[in-house]
Structure 1
Amino acid sequence: MIVSLFDQFASPTLLAIPLVILALLLPWDLFPAPSSQWQGNRLVALLSWLFKTLAQQIVLPANVKGHKWALMLLSLLILLITLNMMGTLPYTFTPTTQLSVSLGLAFPLWLATVIIGMRLYPLRSIAHLVPESTPAPLIPALIIIETISLLVRPLALGVRLAANLTAGHMILQMIASTTLGLLCSISPAGLLGAVILYLLVCLELMVAAIQAYVFVLLLSLYLQENV
């Protein structure tokens, strides 16, 4: 029986309960809770330094009013990095390869930035639809184009995250299947395939972290335009 490559991205269920909910909640249990003592251990200190550095990088494009979003954006970044990297392990499931999850994260956050901009600076938010020094005959066409560009942003956020992870996992599965067949046939090319597979896994781990950072960084840029 021929199994489709896309079957690995189907949401698994147990007793008719989708396991994607468990996959979304499990990563939070992997991080140690902050200690109430004056002096914590090295792991907590390292994580605190890492989270502080990431928070500074995330809110760097935004002004002071956007810094209140730092905690939420940092939490989202850590969650996405953990989910993406855990998905590269055997017998695991990557929730962010599902458009329902990636779009479910992208659309509400994008909509929140738009609503904040319309509430705080309505004239400036509308002025973004018409670039400066635009000829009068081109204004209606540019308004339509900029509106479509604005509405496509959450779709681009979610699809970019899911598509990059899906493509990486498919390549890993095809290379792993070919390498396993070569090794079973005692072919010298199997060793070369194993090396290539190892390098691709390292590359996929970097892609998983980079895609999570790009997702949050674009949200920070959208926030900058509206605060």
Structure 2
Amino acid sequence: MTLSFFDQFMSPTYLGIPLIALAITLPWILFPASSTRWLNNRLLTLQSWFINRTTSQLFMPMNQAGHKWATILMSLMIFLISLNMLGLLPYTFTPTTQLSLNLGLAVPLWLATVLIGLRNQWTATLGHLLPEGTPTPLIPALIIIETISLFIRPLALGVRLTANLTAGHLLIQLTATAAFVLAPLMPSIALLTTAILLLLTLLEVAVAMIQAYVFVLLLTLYLNEVI
């Protein structure tokens, strides 16, 4: 029976129970908790160094009022990296290939930035909908365009993450299928295809980390506009 290549992106179920809940819960178990010892082990030291460096990189251009968001955004980035990386293992499922999950993460955080802007400086937030120096005849059209661009931000966040991970996983599966088919027919071409598959896997690891970073980076940029 020939299955569709897109079957790998369907949310698996067991006894009618969706396993996406287990996939979302699992990453939190894998990370070590901080200890009260003066000296940490290598894993905790590396984890702390990565979090501190990334936090300083993301929140350096932001003023002091936005630093309170560091904990939730860094937790989100590590969570997304974990889900993306675990999805590359055999017999696993990548929850971030589901657009519904990505929108469920993007919409509340984007809406929080909009509400904070309306609460703290509503005139400046509404002023973003009309660039300064706009000719009078273009004011209605620009307000509509800027409003659409504002409401399309969470959709762009979710679609970007979904599309990049889906494309990478699909390309890996296509290359692996080609390697299996060519193995008995043309072994030399199959070896070349396998080498390309290893390079694609390394590329997908980089994409999994970069896309999580970009997701959080764009949220910090949206937050920086309203704080």
Using the size of structure 2 for normalisation, the TM-score is 0.97
Structure 1 position 60, deviation (Å): 2.5
Identify which range, 184-193 or 136-145, moves more after superposition.
184-193
Is 1:183 the equivalent of 2:183?
yes
Partner of 1:44: 44
Is 1:81 the equivalent of 2:94?
no
Q: What one-letter code is carried by the residue in structure 2 that aligns with 1:106?
A: A
Aligned-residue RMSD, C-alpha: 1.0
Deviation track 1:31-85 (CA, whole Å, cap 9, x = no partner) reads 1111111222122112111111111112134221111000100000000011111
Is 1:208 the equivalent of 2:208?
yes
CA contact (8 A) 1:58 1:73 kept: no
- SS in structure 2 opposite 1:188? helix
Q: Distance in 2 between matches of 1:169 and 1:207?
A: 11
- SS in structure 2 opposite 1:184? coil
CA contact (8 A) 1:27 1:82 kept: yes
Q: What one-letter code is carried by the residue in structure 2 that aligns with 1:39?
A: L
Q: What one-letter code is carried by the residue in structure 1 that aligns with 2:154?
A: P
What aligned pairs does 1:12-27 form with structure 2 within 5 A after superposition? 12-27=12-27
Structure 1 position 186, deviation (Å): 5.3
What aligned pairs does 1:51-200 form with structure 2 within 5 A after superposition? 51-185=51-185, 187-200=187-200
Matched residues, number: 227
- SS in structure 1 opposite 2:195? helix
Q: Distance in 2 between matches of 1:183 and 1:50?
A: 41
Q: Distance in 2 between matches of 1:221 and 1:40?
A: 33
Q: What one-letter code is carried by the residue in structure 2 that aligns with 1:122?
A: W
CA contact (8 A) 1:58 1:74 kept: no
> Which segments of 5 or more consecutive residues in structure 2 lack a partner in the other structure?
none
Q: Distance in 2 between matches of 1:60 and 1:110?
A: 20
Identify which range, 210-219 or 61-70, moves more after superposition.
61-70
Structure 1 position 185, deviation (Å): 3.4
CA contact (8 A) 1:61 1:221 kept: no
Identify which range, 50-59 or 106-115, moves more after superposition.
50-59
Q: What one-letter code is carried by the residue in structure 2 that aligns with 1:12?
A: P
CA 184–91 in structure 1, closer or farther in 2 if over 3 Å, else same: farther
Q: What one-letter code is carried by the residue in structure 1 that aligns with 2:184?
A: C
Using the size of structure 1 for normalisation, the TM-score is 0.97
> Which segments of 5 or more consecutive residues in structure 1 lack a partner in the other structure?
none
